Chains A and B, each alone.
Chain A
Amino acid sequence: MIEVDNVAKTFVVRQRSKGMRRSRREVHAVGGLTFSVAAGEMVGYIGPNGAGKSTTIKMLTGILVPSSGRLTVAGVDPARERVGMARRIGVVFGQRTTLWWDLPLRDSFGLLRRIYRVPAARYRENLDRFVELLELAPLLDVPVRQLSLGQRMRGDIAAALMHDPDVLYLDEPTIGLDIVSKVKVREFLRELRADKGTTILLTTHDLTDIEQLCSRVMVIDHGRLVYDGGLPGLHELGESERTMIVDLDRVMPPIEVDSARVVRTDGPRQWLAFPTSASAAPLVSQIAARYPLADLSIAEPAIEDVIARLYVQGSAVAR
């Protein structure tokens, strides 16, 4: 559905240096990006600020023209056939609305129906569905400017889907939302994908979105893909560690075992870190055999930590 082949985007920035003289500097927002997304896939696209996420989405939607490389969405070159592309994609910008500030939600939807020339029956069907799933009924007659962020976002998502796009781009759809709204949005996306088989590309800073929605995640940093695969693989790549919290009968010197190290002690309680790839069972038996073990528990690494480590490693991982 989405084919990106060695795509780069370079901006020329003019900087004011001494006095009135200006110097030109090239900024490589995205360089040598290659990936493909199959129809019906839901892919998380993450990376630190300024990594090139939004630039990628803007190239995929045809807003920006790539400096080099080939890029097609549903067989269409977005920059060349931007207007035709627009009929087949839906875009949600978390940071700004695509609705009309002064119009009630209902009128915004009606306007979109005409802009996208959605058949009346299909429009009715979609509207009823989205109103039900996103709980929009009480909001339909409220002007968009009076909606809360969470309400507006639900409206925006419905608006992006009125014309049944093949591909949906979500640029930080849960930014600034409270937990309840986030859960609603996630549930909706899950159903949408199961129901209509919409291909979804999602950028976010909330990794829970990814954990709950995406089987595949792509990590971009400094304009390059540093990871593309499943969530479990991400843990390995980030060399993340699980933590075993051990409660002993009494205060003891730090536990000495193979393949684990003590990272913290507090009285009889000790924290041991060991690689995610290793099994916990031999470790537990070793400790139980040599120490007066009272209790233990194991904590999985937080995905935030994994990603943070990946960002730090940065281009080292990217060959």
Chain B
Amino acid sequence: MAYRTSFVMMTTAQFVVTGLDFATIGIMFTHTNSLGGYTLPEVAFLYSASGVSLGLADLLCGNVERLGQRVRDGSLDVMLIRPVPTLVQMAADQFALRRLGRITQAGGVLVWSMTRLHVHWTVDRIVLVPVMLIAGTAIFCAIFVLGAAFQFVSGDASEVMNAFTYGGNFLTQYPPTIFARDLVRTMTLIIPLGFVNWMPALHILGKADPVGLPSVFQFLSPIVAAVLAAAGALAWRVGIRSYRSTGS
């Protein structure tokens, strides 16, 4: 906390910028009552579930995207000679609390949407909300790590990863019903971002699956997250072992 003013400004800025996304959705709803069959609180629920997950993942693992830079300036070498797992050091170094901006903003929208939803809150639906957020966070974390591991091979490719994390976040803010079915299928089965919020939200909101996947998929998020996290951990290990360092 050496630079307090900077912290306040950065956090506020992130709060406002991520809030603008939601303002866009709000403006759409001044012209229509539903978007792909979803009401404003329902879209807000999707939006904030994805936002909170990405925000938490960014807070925990967002720093790993700087791997390419660390390889180039040699600071990865320093981390490799410390008796703490490198991934933990990467995540903890310059832990950016300013990323709280996105989380507080999305968290606020989440609370608001849940008070407005016309949902019969059964136990399974209530339990699924934190499960969805935790699994979603794990999925985004795993994608951050996979992207970083890829940088061992490709040099610096943080933009490729951003396409999946921030880009995926942007898509999953909207109901799956407004997209082409092939895109929804890809987002669910291939890049499993649909498990961040779409799949569990279908059950919570009591919506029909636009691509007609088995309803068991709506509860698979924790398993998908675990598999993806394992893949991330493996890729990271392989990456570290093939690390080449730089001259000097």
Contacts and interface: CB of A to CB of B under 8 A. Distances in A.
Given A96-B74, A96-B75, A102-B2, A91 B81 contact: yes
A44 interface: no
Given A96-B75, A102-B2, A64 B81 contact: no
B151 to A, nearest CB: 16
Contact of B84 (A95, A98, A115): A115
B78 interface: yes
A50 B246 CA distance: 11
A89 B81 contact: yes
A63 B71 CA distance: 12
B241 interface: yes
A142 B83 CA distance: 26
Given A63-B81, A83-B83, A83-B84, A58 B245 contact: yes
Interface in B7-36: none
Nearest to B246: A54
B81 A61 contact: yes
B81 A98 contact: yes
A86 B82 contact: yes
A15 to B, nearest CB: 14
Interface string A94-109: 0110100010000000
B78 A96 contact: yes
Interface string A101-128: 0100000000000011000000000000
A86 B79 CA distance: 10
Given A58-B77, A96-B78, A87 B83 contact: yes
Contact of A93 (B78, B84, B241): B78
A104 B84 CA distance: 22
Interface size grouping (class) on chain A: 20 to 34
B81 A62 contact: yes
B245 A64 contact: yes
A84 B166 CA distance: 37
A11 interface: yes
A18 B83 CA distance: 45
A7 interface: no
B81 A115 contact: no
Main secondary structure on A side of the interface with B:
mixed
A65 interface: yes
Contacts, number: 51
Main secondary structure on B side of the interface with A:
loop
A62 B80 contact: yes
A64 B244 contact: yes
A61 B245 CA distance: 12
A82 interface: yes
Interface in B50-85: 73-75, 77-78, 80-85
Nearest to A94: B248
Contacts of B85: 83
Contacts of B80: 61-63, 82
Given A58-B245, A63-B243, A64-B243, A93 B77 contact: yes
Contacts of B78: 93, 96, 98
B98 to A, nearest CB: 15
B247 interface: yes
Contacts of A58: 77, 245
B15 to A, nearest CB: 25
A91 B74 CA distance: 14
A94 to B, nearest CB: 9
Contacts of A96: 73-75, 77-78
Given A64-B243, A86-B83, 9 more contacts: A58-B245, A62-B81, A63-B80, A63-B81, A64-B245, A65-B241, A65-B243, A79-B241, A115-B84
Interface of B: 2, 73-75, 77-78, 80-85, 241-245, 247-248
Interface of A: 11, 50, 54, 58, 61-65, 79, 82-84, 86-87, 89, 91, 93, 95-96, 98, 102, 115-116
7 contacts: A58-B77, A64-B243, A64-B244, A83-B83, A87-B83, A89-B81, A96-B78
Q: Which 9 A-B pairs have the closest CB atoms?
A: A86-B83, A63-B80, A87-B83, A98-B78, A91-B81, A95-B248, A83-B83, A61-B81, A96-B74
